Structure formats: C-alpha cells, structure tokens
Structure 1
Amino acid sequence: MPPLPAPRIAIVGAGLGGLTCARVLQRHGRAVTVFERETDADARPQGGSLDLHADTGQAALRSAGLLDRFHALARPEGDEWRVFDRATGALIAQRGPTEGGGRPEIDRGQLRGLLLDSLRPGTVRWGRAVTGVTPLAGGTCLLLLDGGAAEEFDLVIGADGAWSRVRSALSPAVPHYTGVTFVETGFDRCDTRHPELARLVGNGSLLAKGVGRTLVAQRNSNGHIRGYLALRAPQDWHAAAGLDLGDQRAVREHLVELFDGWDEGLLRILRDSDHGFVNRPLHVLPAPHTWAHVPGVTLLGDAAHLMPPVGLGANLAMLDGADLAHALVTEPGVGDAVRAYERVMLPRSVEAATGSAQGLDHLVPATAS
C-alpha cells in the first residue's frame, strides 16, 4: 500500500508562535507554508524586549534546535527589575537577575529574525493577506486570500494574533478592552544622551506605580530604552481630553499633567523621550476561551488566548507552536495531532489567562494597596 501523501499545512501569521511551529515542522522534514500580510520582515517595528522562560519559550527553542543561537543573542543581565517610589524617586525594591540566568532578555525583533533565518527560503509568503478560512466537508480547509484567491490545505493554523481572521472558523469570541492602555515612547543612545535615565533603569527595567498610573522603562539592545505609561482609562481617553494623538507636543503635556506630583527623575520618561507617543490599548479574549474541535483548523498564540503583556504571551505562543508541530510529526494523522495539541493547550491557556489578568492588576493597581 503506497504511503499517504504528506499533509498540506498552512500557518497564517509570521509571528513568534507561527515561525516556531514552522521551524519545528521543517526540522522534522515536514513541508509548511507561512502566509503573512506584511510585505517583508522589516515592515514594522517588532516591539520591545522579552524574557524567555526555561519551561516555555526556551523549551520551544530547544525543540527548534535554536537554543544555543538564542543564548548567543540574549541578555541574561536584562532580567532585572528596579522599583522606585513615585513621589520621591527612591529605590524601594530590586529583583534579579533570576538565579542561574533562567529568564534572559532578547529583543523581539532579534528573536523573530533568528526564527526567520532558520527557515527554508520561500517558506514565508510575504504580502499575502488572509481574509478568512472555510472548513470543508472532507476535513480539509479552504484558505481565502485578499484579492479572491483560495488554496486548500489539510490544516490551517491561525497564528495571526489578536485580530485573527482564522478564529471565527472555531469561535465567535472577539477581544475586549481591559480598561488599561499602554502609551509607548523611546530613547536612543541612552547611555550617552540620557545617562540619568540609563542609570535608573540599569540593565533591565524600571517600575514606579500609582493608583491607575504606572511608569515602566525597559532597556533593549543597542543602547535603546523603551518607556511605557500604563493608564487605567477609557479606550477613548485622548478624545475625551480633546487630544489629537498626532499632536505629540499636546500629548506630552497632557501626560505630564496626569503624573503631576511624581518624582522629576522618573518624569524624564515623559519629558525627554526621543520618539513620539504610541497609543496601545490592551485587549484580551474571554477566559476561558475554548472551542469544539473543527477538522482542518486550529489556533495558537494570541489568536487562541490573547492576554495582557505581562511576560507570558510570547512564551506561550512559542510553546504552542512547538507542541503543535511535535504532535503533527508524532500522531498518526492531522486530526489526531490537533486533538492532542488542543487537549494540552486549551487548559494551559485558561490557567495562564487567569495569572496574566492578576499580573495586570498588580502592574496597574486600581486602588491603593
């Protein structure tokens, strides 16, 4: 009896989870195609620094055969937090790095580049926006592309983030606003241009909390610091204040007013940044977010379990990708593999979503402690 043909596998989204899945599949000799709506790897900035945990993100990289290359890029000294009193600027707590370097930091862009470079040429189809998927009666799935084209696959993996176009094939869930917005800014060549802020931040991150207001500054590679203002506010806070987000001077002045009474050294994060302010309202999926198995389609990462960005999301997305790929190369069929993966991933994500929600409440407290 001739062997069954290799399954046709598509991954929607060239983020960390999707790329990890693709890399592990290729490492085991499986073909895979990644569809990405962005035109190339440098189409947009990839965000700040991530700490990769030994039992999730690093475990996924070990499955991908990339752990040594990760350690060559990572910054174990970056796993450090300094907590300051918001009014006096006094250092009140310090943590890290984790004993044994267990959670080294790496820029998200560097990590994505590491994964992309590990894939066979042509694996990622850039500039191919997916508009949706249609499960078919025979257990396959039709991938619908912008412009009207369609391709059939034995499995479509939705790794396309918060606003996934694949999710609706499995679940009616949509993200909702958490009540917290991050406003991001940045500093270049911080050790020479912003030495006082660089001294406060050290090798890792700075944190100062107030009721409904938190300041965070995080060291990235190449002398860059990212600053974040975390606000408990309506999603349209800027409109309610009569602000045009394009008017950076007015935004800066308004944000400084919101942090009136805070230590002037900490307010450098607001006053002195080299970059403008980017508004990032935080959304989450309902928890628990589960679905009944549908042949030919599944989800991973934020598409499956969007959580607040408190250190778990990227790690879980990569673990999802590695676990799904491992199931696809060890289980007898695609359906068996997806069921095995979902039996592990869905309960894990419920637990993580609860922890992430608590982490956000701790990061930006709604009331005085």
Structure 2
Amino acid sequence: MRHRIAVVGSGPGGLAFARVMHRHDHPVTILERDPAPDARPPGGMLDLHQGLGQLALEKAGLLGEFEALSRPEAQAMRILDPDGTVLRDWRPRPQDRANPEIDRGQLRDLLLGPLGVRWGRDVTRVVPGARDGVLVHFADGRQETYDLVVGADGAWSRTRPAVSPVTPHYTGVTTVETSLDDVDTRHPHLARLVGDGSMAVYGAHRKLVAQRNSGGHVKVYAQFRAPLDWHTNLDPADAEAVRSSLLDLYDGWADPVLDLVRQGTTFVHRPLHVLPVSHTWTHVAGVTLLGDAAHLMPPLGAGANLAMLDGAELAEAIAAAPGDLDGAIRAFEEQMWARAGKWAKITTAGLERLMSPDPAEAIALFDEVQPS
C-alpha cells in the first residue's frame, strides 16, 4: 500500500525518517523551506549517541558510513576555571565510540544519499480533515494534499498548530555564537586551548564553550542568563559592539579564554526556548510531529539524537503496518512521548546546573555523566 506521505523539514530527524522509509521502498516527499542545501551555515558538530542517533543510522543502513566519517577523538572534553586553570582534561580511549562527533553538513549529505528534496517549499499551514487528506499550504499560495504529514520543522514548527496550540517559551538563558577559522594556523594558542574536542569554562550564571569542528573550524558559544530583550540597545550586526558587550560580561576571565571572543568574526544571537517537559497532544489523524517540533528541549546533546531516532522509529512503524497507518502513528507517538519526557527532564535539570550561581554544579554534572 502506497500512502502519500510528506515530511516538512530536511534536518536530521526528517531525513532519518525519509531515509528509513526509502529503505522500505516507500517514497516520501521532503518539503524544505530553504532554497538550497547550502543556503544557511550547517551549524556545529553533533555527537551521535549509541542507542539514539547511532541506532537511527543503523536502522537506515548507514552506521558503517557514519563510522568512517565521524571523529571519535572529538569526544575529548576539557574544563577550565575562569582563571585559566585546567580542572578536567578527559580524552577518549581509541576504542571509545559512545558519542563520536560528525559535522552537520556531512551528516546531512550522508542521510540525503539518493533522496530528493523539494527545496524552497515554504509550508505556512497544515490543515487536517480535508476531504482528500491533509492539506498543506505554501507561502506561494499553492496547496497539496497528503495522507500523512510529518512535522520535522523544528522549534517554530508550522506543522505543530495542526495538533497542539503550545508554543515554545524562553528559558531565561541566551547563547551568542561566534567562530574561528583556520585555527591551527591563525590561532595556534587557541587550538591548543580547545584541544581535539570541546572546552568549557563555567562561572556564575554563565559559561563559555569552544567546540572543534573539522577543517580547523572552531565554534564558540557564550551562554548566560539574561532577559530575552538583553540586546535591545545593541545592533546584532555590529560585531565590535557585541564583542565589547560579551567581554564586559566575562570581565576578569583569563586572557586566553577571552581571546575566543576577541578573535570571533560574526556573532549570532540564539535565545534558548523549550516546549513543556511533558508536551503531548490529542492524536490527530494524518499529522504527527518529531524532533524539536514535538519536544524542544535545552541543547545538551539530546535533540538531534532524539529527532533521528524518532524519524527512524516512525518509518519502521509505518512499514510494519502498511494497512493501519493511523494505528502505526498512534503507537509511535506513545513511544516517542515516553522517551522525550525522560530526556526533557534530564536536559532541563542539566541546564539549571550548568547555569547555576555555583560553577561547581556544572563540574559535578560533568563528573557524573563522563565515562571513567
């Protein structure tokens, strides 16, 4: 039985869904708002966990290719005191592949494989209960109908209102992102500071994290508690003004740490929003959600992993019961809600500890979760 199925969004979750469906010989229409795969920077590295993201890749038949592309050495984690003292310097063993990192662009290309994406298809509204299925409205005025629409369109999902009135709320924590290029050649002292993986410095209600990506690229994240409108009198496009504001915020921290901000080029403001910890909805025939559209939570390493496993399991549920599409969706939602609720509690508590007035809370959290 061939259902007309569309997935909105070509992030890791939407592509994992479409790729596993492809493995089961069922076509899926991928609708993506971006006009091309390189329309936006792909973002930082992703650590894919055994039992989550790696399990999704196994279901898609891509685990071996992932292992060839991933960087297990990037699991390394270094923690510094604001004065520059190294407090923790954990490095993985050669055989440790619990959470290897991969560039988002490489992961996207791996998942895309033979799939086709309909780029530039900006979904504005999804309306279930139409005569011939679920009606999808596009920004250009066109409409299409499907038997199932899967919302994998992120935090500000245009699909979510079809099943839930809930919208994300601000956590009180903001991230400002910058980056360094060709770090080994242009900033060797910062390359040594960051190491092969990530480096974090924790203070009261704030932290600074640097993450090594491939190709000598380092992402830097300044994260702090602040009102949502903290930057009202600050032009986000004025890099010098943003840099100056951040340096004031982290005043007194060691110079090598602050160089991560001083050497940054452009700065991107990313306030952290989340959905309620136990977000669920009354089942609606023909529409479901996965990933951040369903369970947006603090970005502590679970989001992309959960989205990918959501997508893979949804595809398997549909493939296993081709004659009962609605029953397959109901079973998937129950399973997803249980897992997502657990992780939402973990990540919400984790964000509170990382943004604690006592930096020792963040270090204690690292010691609890890091392998011995």
TM-score normalised by length of structure 2 = 0.94
1:170-185 → structure 2 map (5 Å cutoff): 170-185=163-178
Equivalent position to 2:331, from 336, 340, 346: 340
Q: Gapped runs of 5+ residues in structure 2?
A: 361-372
Say which of 38, 43, 46 aligns to 2:39. 43
Of 50, 53, 58, 1:54 maps to 50
Q: Who is 1:114 aligned against?
A: 110
Q: Per-residue displacement from partner, 1:327-366 (whole Å, max 9, x unpaired)?
A: 0100231101101101100111111111111221232224
Would you say 1:92 and 2:87 are equivalent positions?
A: yes
| TM superposition outliers: structure 1 runs of 4+ over 6 Å | none
Q: Is the aligned partner of 1:304 residue 2:294?
A: yes
Counterpart residue number, 2:354? 363
Q: Deviations over 1:222-260 (max 9, x none)?
A: 011111100110111111xx3211211111111111111
Which of these residues, 315, 328, 338, is aligned with residue 325 of structure 1? 315
Is the counterpart of residue 102 in structure 1 residue 92 in structure 2?
no
Q: Is the CA contact (8 Å cut-off) linking 2:81 and 2:87 kept in structure 1?
A: yes
**Aligned partners of 1:203, 1:30: CA distance in 2, in Å?**
40
Q: CA deviation at 1:113?
A: 1.4
Q: Does the Cα contact within 8 Å between 1:22 and 1:119 map onto a contact in 2?
A: no
CA distance in 1, matches of 2:359, 2:218: 28
Unaligned runs of 5+ in 1: none
Instruction: Judge conservation of contact 1:180–1:233 (CA < 8 Å) in 2.
Output: yes
Give, in angstroms, the shift of residue 147 of structure 1: 2.0
Cross-structure match for 1:248 = 239
Matches within 5 A, 1:1-369: 5-87=1-83, 89-97=84-92, 100-116=96-112, 118-120=113-115, 123-136=116-129, 140-239=133-232, 242-273=233-264, 275-331=265-321, 332-367=323-358, 369=360
TM-score by length of 1: 0.94
Shift of 1:10: 0.4
Distance 1:90 1:367, change over 3 A: closer
| Contact 1:140–1:295 (8 Å) recurs in 2 | no
Q: Match for 1:215: what amino acid?
A: L
Q: 1:301 to 1:23 in 2, by over 3 A?
A: same
Q: Alpha carbon RMSD of aligned pairs, Å?
A: 1.3
- Contact map agreement 2:45 2:103 (CA 8 A) in 1: yes
Given that residues 139 and 296 in structure 1 are in contact (C-alpha distance below 8 angstroms), is that contact kept between their aligned partners in structure 2? no
Identity of matched residues, %: 54
Q: Distance in 2 between matches of 1:198 and 1:343?
A: 45
Q: Does the 8 A contact of 2:125 with 2:136 survive in 1?
A: yes
Label 1:139 to 1:346 Cα distance change in 2 as closer, same or farther (>3 A). farther
CA distance in 2, matches of 1:56, 1:95: 23
In 1, distance between residues paired with 2:176 and 2:58? 34
- Give the C-alpha shift of residue 368 in structure 1: 5.4
Structure 1 CA distance for aligned equivalents of residues 34 and 275 of structure 2: 24
Q: Identify the residue that residue 368 of structure 2 maps to in structure 1.
A: none
**Cα separation, 2, equivalents of 1:141 and 1:367:** 50
Q: CA deviation at 1:81?
A: 0.7
Question: 1:94: how far off?
Answer: 2.2
Any idea what SS the aligned residue of 1:237 has? Answer: coil
SS at match of 2:210: strand
